[in-house]
Amino acid sequence: MSLLPSTTEILFALGVGEQVVGVTFECDYPPQARQRRIVSTSTLPPDLPPAAVDKLVAERMRAGEDLYHLDRDALAGLDPDLIVTQDLCAVCAVDVTEVSDALSYLGCRAEVLTIDPHRLTEVLESVTILGQATGAVARATGLVSALAGRLAAVRDQVAGRGRVRALVLEWTDPPFAPGHWVPEMVTAAGGECVLGEAGQRSFRTTWEAVRATAPEVVVCAPCGFDLPGSAELTKKVLAAGVLPPGVPVWAVDANASFARPGPRLVDGVEALAAVLHPAVAGQPDPALARRLA
């Protein structure tokens, strides 16, 4: 059972998708994941604007309330041997303590594997860990090698080019600076991440601080949004006039290649390289990135 979209993606990439019996409501890649039983859902009302999401999340976090609901009946009926979860971000998935409580309540003896990557190298390591846990070691080794090779190819491609000052926004109202692996993605793509620190949490900032970074490119990658959703939020940011004038602004598919620590982060690095250095990297995949200003 996978309680993370990223680990669901990894498990299918390792060829053990048929063994996955339960997923979350956010597990939408690959499409076959939608055929598995959904065992966790969000407690947030749907279709809230970004500011309302931020306010409600902050209130519930302060109150110690859960943002996700784990369906214990579904869990009991599936009787999993292995449950993959995380302890990285309480806003991203079911808290590991809730999983443990549910297992104790049900008397389920499933192994709980916690995956908590903070850096790009740790994302690749999580592929290896899941390969070992599911008996897909050879497949994991090959996948990690292929992903590392693609990252190396991007770094070689942009080597010697001037570093482009890039600002990535992980949320738009209020603005959030990027954290964890995202600043490293910018660096690998030949940029300088002007706000946010690799391996650390993303954090709330201000539009004044955003403008003070003097970025040469702005990339909107709001967590939880695909490219159309990201583009709509980016248009609202542009209409508000809060970004530095005259700077290229891109929207990207955050769900596919930025927010979820899975294999498609490498797609995101390749897209970023094309955004920052089109002369050597070509144009970004239009399914992943769209320029709006």
CA-to-CA distance for 182 and 185, rounded, in angstroms? 5
Are 130 and 11 contacting, i.e. CB atoms less than 8 angstroms apart? yes
- 159 secondary structure, DSSP code: T
Are 198 and 228 contacting, i.e. CB atoms less than 8 angstroms apart? no
For residues 159-166, give the mean pLDDT. Answer: 96
Which tens digit of pLDDT belongs to each residue from 71-123? 878 887 788 899 998 765 555 556 666 666 666 655 677 888 989 899 999 99
According to the model, what pLDDT value does residue 53 have?
81
Furthest CA-CA distance within the chain: 60
- The confidence band for 55, taking pLDDT boundaries of 50, 70 and 90, is confident
For residues 253-276, give the mean pLDDT. Answer: 97
Residue recorded with tokens 């030949």: 190
DSSP 86-127: -SS-TTTS--HHHHHHHHHHHT---EEEE----SHHHHHHHH
Q: Where are the alpha helices (DSSP H) in the chain?
A: 5-13, 50-63, 72-78, 96-106, 120-134, 137-158, 182-188, 207-212, 227-240, 254-257, 265-276, 278-281
For residues 236-262, give the mean pLDDT. Answer: 96
According to the model, what pLDDT value does residue 63 have?
73
According to the model, what pLDDT value does residue 64 have?
67
- Domain locations in the chain as residue ranges: 5-121, 163-291
CA-to-CA distance for 22 and 33, rounded, in angstroms? 9
According to the model, what pLDDT value does residue 58 have?
78
Are 120 and 92 contacting, i.e. CB atoms less than 8 angstroms apart? no
First to last CA, the chain: 42
Which tens digit of pLDDT belongs to each residue from 9-23? 999 999 999 999 999
For residues 200-212, give the mean pLDDT. Answer: 95
**Cα–Cα nearest to 99, from 112, 88, 90, 81:** 112
pLDDT at 168 over 70: yes
> Cα-flanking dihedrals φ and ψ of residue 5, to 5°?
-60, -35
**Cα–Cα nearest to 262, from 170, 174, 144:** 144
Give the relative orientation of helices 5-13 and 120-134 as an angle to the nearest 10 degrees.
60
* Half-sphere exposure in the Cβ direction for 225 (13 Å, CA): 24
According to the model, what pLDDT value does residue 246 have?
95
For residues 187-213, give the mean pLDDT. Answer: 96
For residues 36-61, give the mean pLDDT. Answer: 81
According to the model, what pLDDT value does residue 104 have?
64
According to the model, what pLDDT value does residue 101 have?
66
According to the model, what pLDDT value does residue 103 have?
66
Class at the top of the CATH hierarchy for domain 163-291:
alpha beta
If one compares 62 and 238, the residue with the highest pLDDT of the two is 238
Mean pLDDT of all residues belonging to the chain = 91
Looking at the domain that runs over 5-121, which CATH code has it been given? 3.40.50.1980
Q: Do domains 5-121 and 163-291 have the same CATH topology?
A: yes
According to the model, what pLDDT value does residue 99 have?
66
- The confidence band for 226, taking pLDDT boundaries of 50, 70 and 90, is very high
